[in-house]
């Protein structure tokens, strides 16, 4: 299919994960259909659009590998063209200049509100015959007033509205800046966009935008309005629910490939498949399988998927990734983390957790979690002293040490678990870690003894 789709973020803040999902759906649709995926930065809100936000959007696109075709379009650079279209619309009589003052409009609005009615521009200037050169004006569209508009939405199905609901909305403000409604349509038309895939919060805009297409005599693209993402409480996903920005999730240690996998499943499905690689997204994605009902963001599911991708990742790559989060002071520590990675990655859901857990290979514990107290009794100290002795004699190879520790447990009349947890407290300062035998083997005899002695000192002090 010769499709051309676009992602059109406004650089007015950090990129919401809902927007990231919109970008993904557009990208996947284009790649699946061998079409083009374009990027347009909608920076016409000059007060709120910043260079930093634009850079951040470009960065996100790169980090998530949502590569776009052609140069990206900066909407603000196209204002002349937007105005040119308005001039043509005026010439064709499908738009008109409105001279109503702010005060008049506000008065009418207040009046409507007072009477419990919804406000809509009343068309005072719609049929004016002559221009008034002395007054400032805005340009409004001459919307259809009778009949119906029908949208055949790929996701939402057929939706009809009475044209009597439509208002003569503004295309050009009195300071000659085009409105969002106009710019979007002109740009989509000029960029040859065939399918507009975006959040269902744009549905009401679509009926207005269809009026512009019609007034200009342009082909209306296909629309696909994808349901919004809700939080677990059924409300639109917002800061109240925790992190909502793509960047924050990366900072919290989620892998881009895991996030794409999770996000593509929010609204779209391929049977019961949970783990879907980027290649499979391209292979399988279709708007036909996008559901109508809103999806709920479930952090547990995301954690589960992220954990899967962590386990799949190469150990060396993971060390490299956690180096951005935790300071690994030297080659010895780095090498230990690398050797321990296989065991570490089985237990972590995020890179952040992985980085925290890798501390056991970087340094001896500087403090001990409260939960370790249980393993700081006299009997535990005796265990540690005995294990230290054994290690001095036979080293830290798991093959030799494990049976010795079993024997020790038996001879002291305690469960093996007590020996293991005591060792875990001493070596890690906490009770959750990879296998203690694996840790000892990796950090080596000297470091193990040093940690056991440190524990004894701490308990005896
Ligand atoms: N710039 C709009 C937004 O960020 C999107 C416009 C569109 O997709 O048509 O919400």
Q: Are residues 62 and 88 in the same domain?
A: no
Task: Give the model's pLDDT for residue 284.
Answer: 98
9: phi > 0 → left, psi -120 to 50 → alpha, else beta; which? beta
Gap between the Cα atoms of 274 and 272, Å rounded: 6
Query: Domain count of the chain?
Result: 4
Q: What is the mean pLDDT of residues 360-374?
A: 95
**Closest atom of ligand 1 to CA, residue 22:** 8
Q: Are residues 395 and 320 in the same domain?
A: no
pLDDT band at 236; cut points 50, 70, 90: confident
Give 460 Cα–ligand 1 centroid separation in angstroms: 64
Gap between the Cα atoms of 277 and 399, Å rounded: 39
Pick from 202, 223, 224, 226 the residue to mutate for probing ligand 1's pocket: most ligand atoms within 8 Å of its CB: 202
CA distances, 371 to each of 86, 368, 402 (Å): 70, 8, 24
Look-up of token digits 């009615």: 117
* CATH code, domain with 30: 3.40.50.620
Q: What is the mean pLDDT of residues 154-167?
A: 96
Task: Give the model's pLDDT for residue 461.
Answer: 87
Give the model confidence (pLDDT) of 258-286 as tens digits.
999 999 999 999 999 999 999 999 999 99
Pick from 6, 7, 9 the residue to mutate for probing ligand 1's pocket: most ligand atoms within 8 Å of its CB: 9
Q: Are residues 414 and 375 in the same domain?
A: yes
Task: Give the model's pLDDT for residue 140.
Answer: 98
Q: What is the mean pLDDT of residues 249-260?
A: 96
Helix (H, G, I), strand (E, B) or coil at 148: strand
pLDDT band at 240; cut points 50, 70, 90: confident
- Can you spell out the DSSP letters for 385-449? HHHHHHHHHH-S-HHHHHHHHHHHHHHHT--HHHHHHHHHHHHHSSS--S-HHHHHHHHHHHHHH
Give the domain-ending residue among 157, 185, 213: 185
Alpha helices in 349-397 (DSSP H): 351-357, 378-394
Give 74 Cα–ligand 1 centroid separation in angstroms: 13
Give the domain-ending residue among 272, 298, 324: 298
Q: Is the pTM of this model over 0.85?
A: yes
Contacts of 181 (CB under 8 A, 6+ apart): 169, 170, 171, 205, 208, 209, 212
- Can you spell out the DSSP letters for 281-339? HHHH--GGGB-SS-EE--HHHHHHHHHHHHHHS-HHHHHHHHTTTS---SHHHHHHHHH
Gap between the Cα atoms of 383 and 389, Å rounded: 10
By percentage, how much of the chain surpasses pLDDT 90? 94
Please determine, for residue 221, whether its predicted confidence score (pLDDT) is greater than 90.
yes
Please determine, for residue 242, whether its predicted confidence score (pLDDT) is greater than 80.
no
Contact 183, 80 (CB under 8 A): no
Pocket of ligand 1 (CB under 6 A): 8-10, 42, 184, 198, 202
Q: Is residue 18 part of a domain?
A: yes
Q: Is residue 126 part of a domain?
A: yes
Give 282 Cα–ligand 1 centroid separation in angstroms: 23
Q: Are residues 36 and 96 in the same domain?
A: no
pLDDT band at 243; cut points 50, 70, 90: confident
Q: Are residues 181 and 96 in the same domain?
A: yes
Give 422 Cα–ligand 1 centroid separation in angstroms: 57
What's the chain's average pLDDT?
96
Q: Is residue 280 part of a domain?
A: yes
Pick from 42, 206, 224 the residue to mutate for probing ligand 1's pocket: most ligand atoms within 8 Å of its CB: 42
Gap between the Cα atoms of 227 and 155, Å rounded: 9
Contact 172, 182 (CB under 8 A): yes
Give the model confidence (pLDDT) of 26-81 as tens digits.
999 999 999 999 999 999 888 899 999 999 999 999 999 999 999 999 999 999 99
Q: Are residues 270 and 180 in the same domain?
A: no
Q: Is residue 213 part of a domain?
A: no
Give the domain range for residue 349. Answer: 313-361
Pairing of strands 170-172, 148-153: unpaired
Pick from 27, 178, 184 the residue to mutate for probing ligand 1's pocket: most ligand atoms within 8 Å of its CB: 184
Give 184 Cα–ligand 1 centroid separation in angstroms: 8
Query: What ranges make up the beta strands (E) of 87-227?
Result: 95-98, 138-141, 148-153, 157-162, 170-172, 195-199, 222-226
Residue with the nearest Cα to atom 7 of ligand 1?
8
Q: What is the mean pLDDT of residues 407-422?
A: 98
Residue with the nearest Cα to atom 5 of ligand 1?
8
Gap between the Cα atoms of 376 and 47, Å rounded: 61
Give the domain-ending residue among 158, 185, 212: 185
Task: Give the model's pLDDT for residue 149.
Answer: 96
Gap between the Cα atoms of 167 and 163, Å rounded: 9
Helix (H, G, I), strand (E, B) or coil at 352: helix
Q: Is residue 303 part of a domain?
A: no
The helix (H) or strand (E) run that includes residue 225 is strand 222-226
Q: Are residues 283 and 261 in the same domain?
A: yes
Give 54 Cα–ligand 1 centroid separation in angstroms: 14
């Amino acid at each position: 299919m010769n499709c051309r789709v676009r992602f059109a973020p406004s650089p007015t803040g950090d990129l919401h994960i809902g927007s990231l999902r919109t970008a993904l759906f557009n990208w996947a649709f284009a790649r699946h259909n061998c079409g083009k995926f374009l990027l347009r930065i909608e920076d016409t809100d000059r007060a709120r659009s910043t260079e930093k936000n634009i850079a951040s959007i470009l960065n996100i696109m790169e980090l998530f590998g949502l590569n776009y075709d052609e140069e990206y379009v900066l909407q603000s650079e196209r204002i002349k063209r937007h105005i040119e279209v308005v001039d043509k619309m005026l010439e064709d009589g499908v738009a008109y200049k409105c001279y109503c003052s702010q005060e008049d409009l506000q008065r009418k609005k207040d009046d409507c509100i007072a009477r419990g009615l919804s406000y809509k521009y009343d068309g005072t200037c719609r049929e004016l015959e002559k221009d008034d050169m002395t007054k400032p004006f805005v340009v409004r569209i001459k919307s259809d007033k009778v009949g119906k508009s029908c949208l055949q939405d790929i996701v939402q199905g057929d939706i009809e509205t009475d044209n009597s609901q439509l208002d003569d909305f503004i295309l050009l403000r009195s300071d000659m800046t085009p409105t969002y409604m106009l710019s979007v349509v002109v740009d989509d038309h000029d960029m040859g966009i065939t399918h507009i895939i975006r959040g269902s919060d744009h549905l009401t805009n679509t009926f207005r935008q269809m009026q512009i297409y019609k007034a200009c005599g342009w082909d209306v693209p296909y629309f696909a309005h994808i349901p919004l993402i809700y939080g677990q409480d059924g409300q639109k996903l917002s800061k109240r629910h925790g992190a909502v920005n793509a960047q924050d999730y990366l900072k919290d240690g989620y892998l881009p490939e895991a996030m794409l996998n999770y996000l593509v499943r929010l609204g779209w499905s391929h049977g019961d498949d949970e783990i879907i690689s980027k290649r499979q997204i391209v292979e399988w994605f279709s708007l036909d399988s996008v559901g109508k009902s809103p999806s709920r963001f479930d952090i547990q599911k995301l954690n589960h998927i992220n954990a899967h991708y962590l386990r799949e990742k190469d150990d060396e790559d993971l060390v490299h990734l956690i180096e951005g989060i935790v300071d690994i002071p030297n080659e010895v520590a780095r090498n230990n983390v690398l050797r321990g990675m296989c065991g570490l990655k089985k237990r972590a859901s995020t890179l952040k957790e992985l980085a925290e857990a890798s501390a056991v290979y970087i340094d001896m514990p500087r403090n001990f979690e409260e939960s370790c107290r249980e393993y700081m009794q006299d009997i535990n100290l005796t265990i540690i002293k005995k294990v230290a002795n054994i290690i001095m004699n036979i080293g830290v190879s798991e093959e030799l040490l494990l049976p010795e520790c079993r024997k020790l447990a038996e001879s002291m009349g305690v469960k093996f678990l007590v020996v293991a947890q005591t060792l875990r407290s001493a070596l890690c300062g906490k009770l959750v870690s990879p296998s203690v035998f694996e840790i000892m083997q990796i950090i080596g005899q000297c470091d193990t003894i040093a940690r056991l002695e440190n524990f004894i000192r701490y308990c005896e002090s």
